[in-house]
């Protein structure tokens, strides 16, 4: 163990304050998320289509705003002020959800969307800044941080759902809001104890102080953030127009990246391309992974013989695995570095995709165990989740860690925001993939034909005839497992390609591991 007083367990002390701040922030985020769809359908009495539309728009916008929060932190606010502003907005959002009118409902979601934009990218960038350049502990530090995320993500749905069920919705949302306040409290404690050194201060005091309409940049950005609440509220409410936003956002992001590309020097040019490449791989990862909250939950509900938990609770299996595996993984990355065997990040992201694909193929293979009612054995779900979680640990925390190395310091939080757009795109496409699993009367399942049909047959042992002519439950099962086998195979293939081209990517990373 390191004896340095500014270190704890071989990592900068600041990591542990950020760990708890993020743990509680994610507690509030995932606690509220677990209630959201049920609250809409049971309490506000919205129909399924409207509820899914609102949920999808909310989840994707939450991961769109980090790009704006990142730019504003890089240029004006610094990470510290951004995190505090974001935390306050998110806490307000959760508290206002306890007031049951459409105005407060959409306004609250909007507050959380904007708040997350300030909080999430900047706390992640902050972690990266705790480590000096080329510090080999960085990946392992992010893996520990990721564990905090998942402790919050695992506990909150259980607690908030229990509060909501036993005492009423308001108490569930209240607990989420209190969680966010605790997150802010831990962050503030870190600030007071001085464990962050001078990281995350305002980047340029002169620019910050320069008045516009009598307000400094902090006041101006705070005012504009609150003024934009109605805008995001309307986007969530009228989510049928969201795809226009995806196009506009993509255009703006690419234009900004091109602008940055032209302004930085050579090694950073190629590093920037690698950052974009990792973001694309990560988007693919989330598009498949995020079936967890949608089609995979329904699959568990309809076609898995669940023992000891209900379908909604299967969502916490992933977080529980992360909690169990994060420390061993963090330790393993450190040990592998010591013996010079730590695979580079380009290989790790390929591995992450392959494992995700394998996990989904195992979900598909469950069809081999089906009984007369098209119910499959739960063991496939448990093993599949294990494999894809190992994949997540190879790609997601490592991706966060790489962003903080690949980007020029000046654009760090913006590039982190770009990385989070992988979840924005991921959620957008995950919705489309989930739709492919619904059985539509008279429509042929595209995954039952040609090469994809052959893959399904190979993985699941099922022929489409069962799907087309069988009972409802069989057709539904075929629909799930064919989509999972098809996308599983595609993901494995892309992962293999990523490993194949990893030597080139490594070269382009210009010294970053």
Shortest-Cβ-distance residue relative to ligand GLN: 423
**Least distance to ligand GLN, CB of residue 396, Å:** 6
d(CA 181, CA 179): 5
Task: Using alpha carbons, list the distances in angstroms from residue 429 to 139, 284, 345.
Answer: 28, 9, 25
- Which C-beta is closer to ligand GLN: that of 33 or that of 475? 33
**Least distance to ligand GLN, CB of residue 270, Å:** 25
Task: Specify the 3-state DSSP secondary structure of 378.
Answer: helix
The tokens for 202 are 């305002």
**Least distance to ligand GLN, CB of residue 266, Å:** 31
Contact between 129 and 199 under an 8 Å Cβ cutoff? The reply is yes
**Least distance to ligand GLN, CB of residue 93, Å:** 17
Contact between 203 and 210 under an 8 Å Cβ cutoff? The reply is no
**Least distance to ligand GLN, CB of residue 295, Å:** 16
- Which C-beta is closer to ligand GLN: that of 286 or that of 329? 286
Contact between 385 and 321 under an 8 Å Cβ cutoff? The reply is yes
The tokens for 157 are 């749905």
The tokens for 120 are 């999430």
**Least distance to ligand GLN, CB of residue 47, Å:** 27
- Which C-beta is closer to ligand GLN: that of 22 or that of 242? 22
d(CA 393, CA 322): 8
Summarize as ranges the residues that interact with ligand GLN (CB under 6 A): 26, 149, 286, 396, 423
- Which C-beta is closer to ligand GLN: that of 75 or that of 138? 138
The CA radius of gyration of the chain, in Å to the nearest whole number, is: 23
Among candidate residues 488, 465, 474, the one with its CA nearest the CA of residue 367? 474
Largest Cα separation within the chain, whole Å, is: 73
**Least distance to ligand GLN, CB of residue 26, Å:** 6
**Least distance to ligand GLN, CB of residue 139, Å:** 16
- Which C-beta is closer to ligand GLN: that of 325 or that of 367? 325
Q: Cα 45 vs. chain centroid, distance in angstroms?
A: 28
- Which C-beta is closer to ligand GLN: that of 295 or that of 396? 396
d(CA 174, CA 91): 9
Contact between 278 and 446 under an 8 Å Cβ cutoff? The reply is no
**Least distance to ligand GLN, CB of residue 425, Å:** 10
- Which C-beta is closer to ligand GLN: that of 28 or that of 396? 396
> What are 377's strand-pairing partners?
305
Strand boundaries in 262-418, DSSP class E:
304-305, 376-377
- Which C-beta is closer to ligand GLN: that of 107 or that of 293? 293
Task: Specify the 3-state DSSP secondary structure of 244.
Answer: helix
Strand boundaries in 23-169, DSSP class E:
none
- Which C-beta is closer to ligand GLN: that of 131 or that of 286? 286
**Least distance to ligand GLN, CB of residue 169, Å:** 23
Among candidate residues 81, 87, 144, the one with its CA nearest the CA of residue 114? 87
- Which C-beta is closer to ligand GLN: that of 130 or that of 149? 149
d(CA 285, CA 72): 28
d(CA 62, CA 138): 26
Kindly give the interhelix angle for 138-167 and 316-338, rounded to the nearest 10 degrees: 170
- Which C-beta is closer to ligand GLN: that of 149 or that of 229? 149
Contact between 132 and 14 under an 8 Å Cβ cutoff? The reply is no
**Least distance to ligand GLN, CB of residue 298, Å:** 20
């Amino acid at each position: 163990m390191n004896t340095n007083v500014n270190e704890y367990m071989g990592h900068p002390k600041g990591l542990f304050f950020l760990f708890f701040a993020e743990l509680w922030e994610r507690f509030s985020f995932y606690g509220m998320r677990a209630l959201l769809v049920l609250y809409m359908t049971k309490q506000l009495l919205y129909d399924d289509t409207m509820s899914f539309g609102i949920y999808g728009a909310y989840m994707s916008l939450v991961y769109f705003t980090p790009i704006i929060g990142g730019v504003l932190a890089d240029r004006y606010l610094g990470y510290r002020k951004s995190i505090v502003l974001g935390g306050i907005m998110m806490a307000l959002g959760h508290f206002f959800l306890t007031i049951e009118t459409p105005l407060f409902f959409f306004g609250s979601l909007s507050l959380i969307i904007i708040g997350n934009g300030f909080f999430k990218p900047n706390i992640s960038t902050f972690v990266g800044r705790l480590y000096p350049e080329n510090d080999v502990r960085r990946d392992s530090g992010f893996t520990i941080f990721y564990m905090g995320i998942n402790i919050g993500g695992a506990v909150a749905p259980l607690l908030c759902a229990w509060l909501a069920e036993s005492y009423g919705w308001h108490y569930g949302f209240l607990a989420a809001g209190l969680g966010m306040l605790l997150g802010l409290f831990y962050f503030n404690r870190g600030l007071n104890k001085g464990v962050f050194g001078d990281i995350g201060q305002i980047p340029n005091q002169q620019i910050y102080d320069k008045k516009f309409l009598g307000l400094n940049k902090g006041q101006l950005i705070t005012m504009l953030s609150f003024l934009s609440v109605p805008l995001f509220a309307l986007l969530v409410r009228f989510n049928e127009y969201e795809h226009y936003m995806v196009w506009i956002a993509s255009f703006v992001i690419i234009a900004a990246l091109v602008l940055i590309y032209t302004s930085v020097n050579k090694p950073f040019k190629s590093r920037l391309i690698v950052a974009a490449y990792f973001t694309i791989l990560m988007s693919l990862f989330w598009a498949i992974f995020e079936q967890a909250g949608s089609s995979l939950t329904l699959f568990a509900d309809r076609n898995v013989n669940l023992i000891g938990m209900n379908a909604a609770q299967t969502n916490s299996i992933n977080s529980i695995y992360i909690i169990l595996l994060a420390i061993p993984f963090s330790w393993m990355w450190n040990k592998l570095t010591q013996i010079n065997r730590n695979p580079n990040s380009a290989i790790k992201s390929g591995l992450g995709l392959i494992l995700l694909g394998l996990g989904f193929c195992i979900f598909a293979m469950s069809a081999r165990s089906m009984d007369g009612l098209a119910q499959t054995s739960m063991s496939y779900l448990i093993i599949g989740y294990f494999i894809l979680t190992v994949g997540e640990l190879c790609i997601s925390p490592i991706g966060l860690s790489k962003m903080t190395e690949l980007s020029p310091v000046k654009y760090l939080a913006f590039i982190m925001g770009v990385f989070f757009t992988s979840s924005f795109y991921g959620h957008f496409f995950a919705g489309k993939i989930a739709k492919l699993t619904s059985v539509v009367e008279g429509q042929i399942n595209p995954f039952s034909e040609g090469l994809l049909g052959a893959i399904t047959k190979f993985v699941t042992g099922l022929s489409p005839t069962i799907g087309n002519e069988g009972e409802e439950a069989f057709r539904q099962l075929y629909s799930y497992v064919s989509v999972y086998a098809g996308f599983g195979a595609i993901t494995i293939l892309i992962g293999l390609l990523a490993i194949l081209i990893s030597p080139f990517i490594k070269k382009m990373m210009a010294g970053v591991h």
